[in-house]
Structure 1
Amino acid sequence: MDDEIRRKILALLDQHRIMTVATLRPDGWPQATTVGYANEGLILYFLCGQDSQKAKNLARDDRLSLTIDHDTADLMTITGLSMAARAHAVVDRTEAEKILRMLPLKYPEVKPLPMKMPSPDEVRLFRVTPSVISVLDYSKGFGHTDLVIC
């Protein structure tokens, strides 16, 4: 991956805080859900309920697709990214606690948070590792994407 694309990916990840994740349900249909996330470089983290459909889907099949983008009034300024990735449950307590400290940092304007952060025992945390990243940038032409194999 060249430095320019890496910087673009990291900028998109750092400037946003929600993503849509798609997992596979037992009946084969994809399930898309919006979740908050934090990232360390290209590794993303999110949490969900322990018994949520997402957690059950990922326990059965760790493949995940995701998108990160935003709305814009100017068609030719659309940017965003999508990923094909693997999501693994975080079982190490130290890593889980670190992730739970990272997530509120995406909301610096909200002090204090309107909710108590859950403990690692109350939620399922996932580490998302990209396999393929598609970077969308219409400023380079309608529908322009750069494909990165990780």
Structure 2
Amino acid sequence: MDKSIEQFIMDIIDHGKDLTLATVRPDGYPQATTVSYANDGMDIYIGIGKDSQKADNLRRNNKVSLTINAPYKDWNEIKGLSISGTAEFLNDAKELQHAADCMIKRFPQLLEWTKSNQTSDMLLLKIRPQFLSVLDYRKGFGHTELLQV
């Protein structure tokens, strides 16, 4: 992958505030939900409720799509990512700790929440991108580039 494209991708992932996650419902329709996230490189971590519709969807089908957008003031500045990949429920203690550390680094308020034992109803996921569509309107209206990771 070209270094300038990789930097563009990492800038959006590193500085995005939230993402929209799409999972597949039992009826085959997509379900899109806004969630907070943290990352380590291109690996993306999210926390979801263990009894949520998202969790049920992912237990049946771990394929996901997500979008992350950079803030902009006019259309000529729109930049974002559309990512397709797979979600993995984390079970390994070392991986869980790493994901939690990434989340707490990005959202320090989670430390208090974890101390109050409110994490028993939460699952941590790791999303690994397989395809990225890079959106950059600075190169023209609707300009995208599709990349395989």
Superposition TM-score, scaled by structure 2 size:
0.90
Q: Which moved more, 1:69-78 or 1:122-131?
A: 69-78
CA distance in 2, matches of 1:35, 1:112: 16
Match of 1:122 in 2: 121
User: Per the alignment, do residues 28 and 92 of structure 1 end up closer, same or farther by CA in structure 2, a change over 3 Å counting?
Assistant: same
CA offset at residue 71 of structure 1? 4.4
- Checking the alignment, whether the CA contact within 8 Å between 1:93 and 1:120 is kept in structure 2 is no
How big is each residue's C-alpha offset from its partner over 1:6-38, in whole Å with a ceiling of 9 and x where there is no partner? Answer: 111011100113100000000111100011111
CA distance in 1, matches of 2:71, 2:39: 21
How big is each residue's C-alpha offset from its partner over 1:124-148, in whole Å with a ceiling of 9 and x where there is no partner? Answer: 1111011110111101111111211
CA distance in 2, matches of 1:123, 1:93: 15
How big is each residue's C-alpha offset from its partner over 1:75-124, in whole Å with a ceiling of 9 and x where there is no partner? Answer: 100001010110010011221122112113224xxx65595136764311
- Which structure: greater helix fraction? 2
User: Per the alignment, do residues 74 and 20 of structure 1 end up closer, same or farther by CA in structure 2, a change over 3 Å counting?
Assistant: same
Match of 1:21 in 2: 21
User: Per the alignment, do residues 36 and 43 of structure 1 end up closer, same or farther by CA in structure 2, a change over 3 Å counting?
Assistant: same
Which amino acid is the alignment partner of residue 76 of structure 1? N
User: Per the alignment, do residues 75 and 86 of structure 1 end up closer, same or farther by CA in structure 2, a change over 3 Å counting?
Assistant: same
Q: What's the secondary structure of 2:13's corresponding residue?
A: helix
CA distance in 2, matches of 1:112, 1:15: 18
- Checking the alignment, whether the CA contact within 8 Å between 1:49 and 1:123 is kept in structure 2 is yes
Structure 1 unaligned spans of 5+:
none
User: Per the alignment, do residues 100 and 14 of structure 1 end up closer, same or farther by CA in structure 2, a change over 3 Å counting?
Assistant: same
State percent identity of aligned pairs.
Answer: 40
User: Per the alignment, do residues 112 and 43 of structure 1 end up closer, same or farther by CA in structure 2, a change over 3 Å counting?
Assistant: closer
Match of 1:85 in 2: 85
Q: What's the secondary structure of 2:26's corresponding residue?
A: coil
Structure 2 unaligned spans of 5+:
none
- Checking the alignment, whether the CA contact within 8 Å between 1:97 and 1:120 is kept in structure 2 is no
Superposition TM-score, scaled by structure 1 size:
0.90
- State the number of aligned residues: 147
